[in-house]
């Protein structure tokens, strides 16, 4: 019989989830081929799900014995060997499982002769090596991940019917990936950049992906601007260098970025690792209760370790000496049994309150004031498991904001609406159309039954002989009318509305004058000027005007720092040209 393993909620896993087992066909012996994990044994032998479904008490802390002066991450290879004890080394094979007799020498005609095509050991190795790299994430490329659980501590069923919140004490398995935004996969962890804070809840109603950042706001409020915004933060298309002109030109032309820019250049712009920062869903969502009543919501995840940030000087030192500082810190903390945790909160706004709200409640560049919409505690997140393999469980980990269980729905937030398409689309490009069959992305608490078939790298039984069209008369999967989205009444003119001038300064002014201390304001202005100084003078002027619109003191301090910087070097009054002119010589074009 197939093994049935209870999850943290006590509910057994479905026996016939096609991501878990290939269904036996008539006349065949039952096969226990588990897709959510390598190998062909029962569930208890699957590396990924065995760890994921283990209770916290079953998670073994790694031994503390290490070589002198080395940390847990440094000694990973030695600990892997030690954990095997007296176990013999596995027999070396090709990818097809064929034993390999010699892994050090190619097959040639004589000691100096040519390589033979029949050397399949070499071709198997090289062909796979040539294909090891997959497309890098276009944003959030550098990251760290871990696994754990979410536990409900407060009842919010009056707001939300999602089973993840159904009773106090309920635990749900979770995966979290932390990341920087603009840097490449090998970039430093301690740069000034927003941090991604993406959470995947493995619920019995499917995976819920809450894809947030360490900031409650963002640079833009219209999804149309997202590609251009990211291009401005990435590398110059000709020089392939980071370009302050591009960065500050975009920010200065889009003053809605002022709030996030101010947060970014404050002390919180460089968190001290991933454990000491908060997470935010940032967007406005909709919660629906069992009675069909809906409210708007924002999600907050507050660190229990306390907020800690790095100084500019310390961040620079670490970027040189230990560019993987945050990844290492998270891995070692969990390995030591020092499990990081966060407290999960929501803010709630009724539809009636939204109608009376002084600004657009779906504007991603603004917060909801806590004095008017206080934080409501919900639960606790604990990370207690490191990935066994980074590529399998972190690099292939894919988050999709459109993955929402019944009871959680999107709001009219324009940025959220854009992400609902963009995220799954990029996963299909990066990981393939069947990326949800990858173990770490598999909705392994529920049986997936639909009419999607085939595609590149389908590794399930492809739902066997079940009908692949709907409607049908042969007991194919049926609709669940009781789980339809809530009804919404919407009216208005269809057009492209310009939201550029929707009060871009009021909340930034409050942040500058009421949230920051005098010392923090001084560091903020110094940090901004230290980056803005490398942009051209006309861009500096536009940016300073925007900061002055927030508060005269804000702009004046930045300008004072810029004056000192500009006095030290040549004026940046020139204009970069990125296009070729018709009268360029062949030599000039060759040097472009």
Q: Which residues are known to be catalytic? A: 140, 213
DSSP annotation string for 131-199:
T---PPPSSS-SEEEEEEEEEE-S--TTT---GGGSSTT-EEEEEEEEEESSS-TTS-TTSS--EEEEE
Measured CA to CA, the distance from residue 557 to residue 548 in angstroms comes to 9
Pairing outcome for strands 294-303 and 285-288: antiparallel
533, 562 contact by CB (below 8 A): yes
Contacts of 78 (CB under 8 A, 6+ apart): 66, 67
315, 340 contact by CB (below 8 A): no
Which tokens sit at 63?
A: 């031994």
Measured CA to CA, the distance from residue 180 to residue 176 in angstroms comes to 14
- Residue 332 has a CB neighbour count (10 Å cut-off) of 16
DSSP annotation string for 249-264:
HHHHH-GGGHHHHHHH
First-to-last alpha carbon distance for the chain, in angstroms, is 68
Nearest to 557, CA basis, from 526, 519, 514:
526
Contacts of 358 (CB under 8 A, 6+ apart): none
Apex 216 CA angle, 355 and 289, nearest 5 = 50
- Residue 409 has a CB neighbour count (10 Å cut-off) of 16
Measured CA to CA, the distance from residue 389 to residue 51 in angstroms comes to 12
Q: Report CA 248 to chain centroid distance, whole Å.
A: 25
Measured CA to CA, the distance from residue 477 to residue 498 in angstroms comes to 43
């Amino acid at each position: 019989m197939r093994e049935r393993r209870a999850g943290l909620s006590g509910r057994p896993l479905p026996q016939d989830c096609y991501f878990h087992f290939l269904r036996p066909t008539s006349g065949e012996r039952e096969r226990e081929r588990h897709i959510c994990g390598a190998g062909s044994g029962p569930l208890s032998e699957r590396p990924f799900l065995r760890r994921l479904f283990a209770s916290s008490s079953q998670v073994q802390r790694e031994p503390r014995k290490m070589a002198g002066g080395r940390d847990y991450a440094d000694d990973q290879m030695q600990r892997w060997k030690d954990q095997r004890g007296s176990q013999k080394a596995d027999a070396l094979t090709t990818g097809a499982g064929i034993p390999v007799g010699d892994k050090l020498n190619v097959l040639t005609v004589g000691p100096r002769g040519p390589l033979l095509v029949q050397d399949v050991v070499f071709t198997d190795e090289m062909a796979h090596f040539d294909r090891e790299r997959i497309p890098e994430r276009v944003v959030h490329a550098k990251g760290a991940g871990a696994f754990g659980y979410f536990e409900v501590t407060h009842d919010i069923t009056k707001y939300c019917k999602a089973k993840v919140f159904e009773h106090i004490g309920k635990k749900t398995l979770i995966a979290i990936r932390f990341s920087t935004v603009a840097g490449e996969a090998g970039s430093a962890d301690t740069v000034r950049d927003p941090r991604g804070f993406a959470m995947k809840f493995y619920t019995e109603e499917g995976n819920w992906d809450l894809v947030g950042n360490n900031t409650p706001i963002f640079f833009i409020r219209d999804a149309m601007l997202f590609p251009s915004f990211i291009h401005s933060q990435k590398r110059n298309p000709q020089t392939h260098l980071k370009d302050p002109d591009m960065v500050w030109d975009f920010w200065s032309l889009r003053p809605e970025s002022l709030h996030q820019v101010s947060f970014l250049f404050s002390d919180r712009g460089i968190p001290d690792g991933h454990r000491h920062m908060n997470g935010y869903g940032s967007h406005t969502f909709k919660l629906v209760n069992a009675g069909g009543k809906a409210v708007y919501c924002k999600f907050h995840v507050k660190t229990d370790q306390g907020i800690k940030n790095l100084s500019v000087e310390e961040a620079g030192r670490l970027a040189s000496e230990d560019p993987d500082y945050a990844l290492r810190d998270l891995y070692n903390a969990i390995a030591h049994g020092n499990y990081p945790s966060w407290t999960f909160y929501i803010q709630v706004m009724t539809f009636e309150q939204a109608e009376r709200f002084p600004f657009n409640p779906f504007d991603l560049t603004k917060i909801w004031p806590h004095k008017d919409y206080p934080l409501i505690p919900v639960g606790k997140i604990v990370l207690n498991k490191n990935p066994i393999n980074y590529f399998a469980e972190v690099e292939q980990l894919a988050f999709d904001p459109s993955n929402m269980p019944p009871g959680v729905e999107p709001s009219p937030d324009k940025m959220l609406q854009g992400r609902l398409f963009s995220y799954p689309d990029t996963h299909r490009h990066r990981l393939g159309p069947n990326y949800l069959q990858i173990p770490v992305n598999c909705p392994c608490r529920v049986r997936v039954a639909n009419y999607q078939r085939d595609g590149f790298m389908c590794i399930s039984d492809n739902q066997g002989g079940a009908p692949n069209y709907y409607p049908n008369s042969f007991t194919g999967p049926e609709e669940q009318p009781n789980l339809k989205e809530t009804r919404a009444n919407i009216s208005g003119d269809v057009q492209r509305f310009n939201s550029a001038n929707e009060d871009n300064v009021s909340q930034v002014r409050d942040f500058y004058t009421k949230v920051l201390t005098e010392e923090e304001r001084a560091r903020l202005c110094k940090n901004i000027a230290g980056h803005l100084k490398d942009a051209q003078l006309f861009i500096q002027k536009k940016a300073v005007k925007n900061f002055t619109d927030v508060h005269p003191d804000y702009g004046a301090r930045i300008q004072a720092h810029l004056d000192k910087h500009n006095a030290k070097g040549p004026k940046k009054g020139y204009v970069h040209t990125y296009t070729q002119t018709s009268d360029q010589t062949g030599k000039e074009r060759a040097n472009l």
